[in-house]
């Protein structure tokens, strides 16, 4: 829940202006929120120049503008972005892994129950890979090895994705693993009833 520190709020209205739900208003010099309309996007927290708004009383932290990248650096970063196809066998320190995951909280979402399970235990990763590979094998057998399935695919002119999936599945079965042995896996959980543990992942 968005919380207002009334002693810090100057009533400048920056948060009211940015609020896309139109649930905020300046009343007698202080911001008021209609929580029934609030989607808790937290944009108001980010824009407040006084850090007078917070999420559940967790203080907002001001940006250090000296650490922001230049336009030229951003341009280079975006152009060099690549998907990772192969992984090294190096382990990731748990604190670094948790720091990387923590950046995910800044991604916009309307699901506020999301939590992350970080799995870096090699045995659990290998077991997960085994289960996924088993599933891949069943999909391949059902949709590509059986002649009737291939005939139906041609008959109904299934989209190109059907044809593109075949070599991907074959490559995984040939190398004997679904993934190329990543050092860690992160599972995003959106249900509070699911235990937050590696075993539940």
User: How many Å apart are CA 201 and CA 193, to the nearest integer?
Assistant: 13
- Per-residue pLDDT band at 10 (split at 50, 70, 90): very high
Q: What average pLDDT does this structure show over 90-94?
A: 89
**pLDDT computed for residue 170 by the predictor:** 92
Q: Are 37 and 89 in contact (CB under 8 A)?
A: no
The two tokens of residue 193 are: 């009833």
Q: State pTM to two decimals.
A: 0.61
Q: Domain of residue 45: give its range.
A: 2-64
- Per-residue pLDDT band at 196 (split at 50, 70, 90): low
Q: What average pLDDT does this structure show over 15-44?
A: 91
Does some domain include residue 112? no
Q: Is pLDDT at 148 greater than 70 in this prediction?
A: no
Residue finishing a domain among 33, 64, 95: 64
Number of domains in the chain: 2
Does some domain include residue 88? no
- Per-residue pLDDT band at 152 (split at 50, 70, 90): low
User: For the chain, what is the total number of helices (H) and then of strands (E)?
Assistant: 7, 6
Q: Are 200 and 117 in contact (CB under 8 A)?
A: yes
Q: Are 184 and 122 in contact (CB under 8 A)?
A: no
Does some domain include residue 40? yes
Does some domain include residue 104? no
Region of poorest pLDDT, from 58-62, 69-73, 147-151, 164-168:
147-151
């Amino acid at each position: 829940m968005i919380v207002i520190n009334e002693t810090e709020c100057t009533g400048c209205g920056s948060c009211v202006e940015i609020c896309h739900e139109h649930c905020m208003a300046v009343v007698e010099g202080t911001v008021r929120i209609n929580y029934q309309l609030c989607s808790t996007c937290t944009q108001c927290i980010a824009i407040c120049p006084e850090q007078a708004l917070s999420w559940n009383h967790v203080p907002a932290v001001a940006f250090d503008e000296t650490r922001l990248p230049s336009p030229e650096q951003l341009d280079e970063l975006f152009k060099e972005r690549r998907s990772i196809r192969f992984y090294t066998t190096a382990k990731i320190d748990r604190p670094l892994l948790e720091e990387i995951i923590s950046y995910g909280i800044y991604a916009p979402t309307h699901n506020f129950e999301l939590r992350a399970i970080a799995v870096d235990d090699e045995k659990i990763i290998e077991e997960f890979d085994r289960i996924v590979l088993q599933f891949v094998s069943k999909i391949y057998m059902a949709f590509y090895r059986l002649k009737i399935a291939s005939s139906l695919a041609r008959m109904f002119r299934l989209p190109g994705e059907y044809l593109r999936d075949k070599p991907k599945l074959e490559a995984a079965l040939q190398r004997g693993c679904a993934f190329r042995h990543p050092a860690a896996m992160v599972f995003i959980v959106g249900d509070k009833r699911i235990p937050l543990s590696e075993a539940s992942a």
